[in-house]
Amino acid sequence: MNGDWITLETRDGSTAFEPGEEIEGTVSWQLAKVREIELRLIWFTAGKGEQDSRLVATVPFPNPGEHEVRRFRLRLPDGPFSFSGKLISLDWALEAVAGSRAERLPITLAPGRREIRLDGDAGPR
């Protein structure tokens, strides 16, 4: 094992956000031969039927060193909202990507900072 790693953290460890809210945090890494690294905001569907995904925003970290901590800040869009149903769900995530290596942090984007449950159950999944 070569000791390469990436970590992704939001300020205060928050992972649930209101639409339009700003996210702040850090991306840390130790990567030999790192050429580029970026933070991505994505959403994707899971469940029955065709899977869909969208790259919503990127935050590049130019001229990365082998071992660094970089801060990020980005504003979330107004939607789509995180939701979960019997047949399909829509999830959001932040991803720190460097070549073939990536670290994903699932987040929730919805009013009240709670995923919308389509089956009528408002509890956690």
DSSP at 81: P
Report yes or no: 86 and 118 within 8 Å, Cβ to Cβ: yes
Per-block average pLDDT, block size 10, for the chain (125 residues)?
Answer: 88 97 97 94 93 96 96 97 95 96 97 90 50
Rounded distance between C-alpha atoms, residue 12 and residue 95, angstroms: 18
- What are the two backbone dihedrals, phi and then psi, of residue 122, each rounded to the nearest 5 degrees? -90, 5
| Domains of the chain by start residue, with CATH | 5-117 (2.60.40.640)
Indicate the residue type of 100. S
What was the pLDDT predicted at 70?
Answer: 98
State if pTM tops 0.85. yes
- For tokens 């939607």, name the residue: 79
Rounded distance between C-alpha atoms, residue 24 and residue 14, angstroms: 10
